[in-house]
Structure 1
Amino acid sequence: MLLLYLFLLFTVGPLVELILLLYVGSKIGWLATVGIVILTGIIGAALARWQGVKAVMRVQRRIGRGQVPGDELFDGVLILVAGVLLVTPGILTDLTGFALLTPPLRNVIKGVLRRWARKNIEVRTTQTASQFWSSEPTPQYRDEIIDAEVVETRVVD
């Protein structure tokens, strides 16, 4: 099943993008189409960066409180995917990228991903303990400071 998804992603996806670009180019002109693709890439990258920085700050806040940043990590991954899609030339990728940058749609996708993860990912934990014994004495460190001067040298042939 994974092979089918990869096939669709890497063959049908670019083909649909090409058809859309040709269609839009025939309606509004090639220069305008290229301009739109470049402009959406620039705007999208800036938006993804801005939202990505905010997501990282939320993750750090949650970790600082001693909490697991689950939703924040999902947000970060989806924002990263949105950024990649937005800098990829194409109309469908731009629309998908901008959709992923909208928080309401991102929340829906997070819910779908969360349900999929609960269904398909199994969490197992294990504990181990070991002791390390050495017959070597523990190294002793000194607090003294040695004042030295660096002398540069070079080899002369």
Structure 2
Amino acid sequence: MRIPAIILLLLPLAEIAGFVLVGQWLGVLTTLALIVASTLLGIIVLRNNGLTISQKLRSGDIENKPGRLAKAVLDGSASMFGGLLLVIPGFITDILGLLLLIPFIRSVLWSFIKLRFVTVSSEANFQWREGPAKSDTVVDLDAGEYKRQDPNTPSPWKQLPKDEG
């Protein structure tokens, strides 16, 4: 749990250092243009991937097999996360985002993640038992605490309240 926290703390410092180095190498205006371009690219990727994933799921293009569905979801999620990383200003996040947009990288990522997936069967086991349901609870009432009614009596809950006025 400490490693992700350390990475989250060090990432902004590394991004600032990246801004300084790229700014010295390419100039301030070119650096700003690259940041704006990567943000726009990330927005385009997020928009297009979101529409593509939802259309594939709705149209049934993805077979409903546990492995294929999970791979399609991971593939779409990884490309969406790549687009999100492109929107975040910084060159390190841009490089990671661009890597996640490459299908080969996503398939390598899937090969590592699929080993940790647990496939759950969708079959239900149902057993029929004869006889009344067993209950450990007993409701102990006195004779005055309840009364039997004729089953044909209309329910008081179905009657409308009378207007008083």
Local SS of the residue matching 1:36: helix
Matched, 1:72 2:72: yes
2: CA distance, partners of 1:124 / 1:11: 41
2: CA distance, partners of 1:36 / 1:50: 21
1: CA distance, partners of 2:17 / 2:63: 49
- Relative to 1, partners in 2 of residues 1:63 and 1:39: Cα closer, same or farther, differing over 3 Å? closer
Can you give the 5+ residue segments of structure 1 that lack an aligned partner in the other structure? 138-157
Q: Deviations over 1:73-128 (max 9, x none)?
A: 1112112211211110000111111111111111111211222x23xx68698878
- Does the 8 Å CA contact 2:42/2:86 hold for their aligned counterparts? yes
The percent identity for this pair of structures is 22
1: CA distance, partners of 2:120 / 2:30: 51
| 2:139 corresponds to | none
- Does the 8 Å CA contact 2:79/2:101 hold for their aligned counterparts? yes
CA RMSD of aligned residues (A): 3.4
| 1:97 corresponds to | 97
1: CA distance, partners of 2:27 / 2:78: 32
From the CA coordinates, give the structure whose radius of gyration is larger.
Answer: 2
For normalisation by structure 1, the TM-score amounts to: 0.67
- Does the 8 Å CA contact 2:41/2:83 hold for their aligned counterparts? no
Q: Give the letter aligned to residue 92 of structure 1.
A: I
Residue among 47, 55, 58 paired with 1:57: 55
For normalisation by structure 2, the TM-score amounts to: 0.64
Can you give the 5+ residue segments of structure 2 that lack an aligned partner in the other structure? 128-132, 134-150, 156-165
| 1:153 corresponds to | none
- Does the 8 Å CA contact 2:19/2:31 hold for their aligned counterparts? yes
1: CA distance, partners of 2:6 / 2:119: 27
Q: How does 1:2-81 map to 2 (within 5 A)?
A: 2-8=1-7, 10-62=8-60, 66-68=64-66, 69-81=69-81
| 2:114 corresponds to | 114
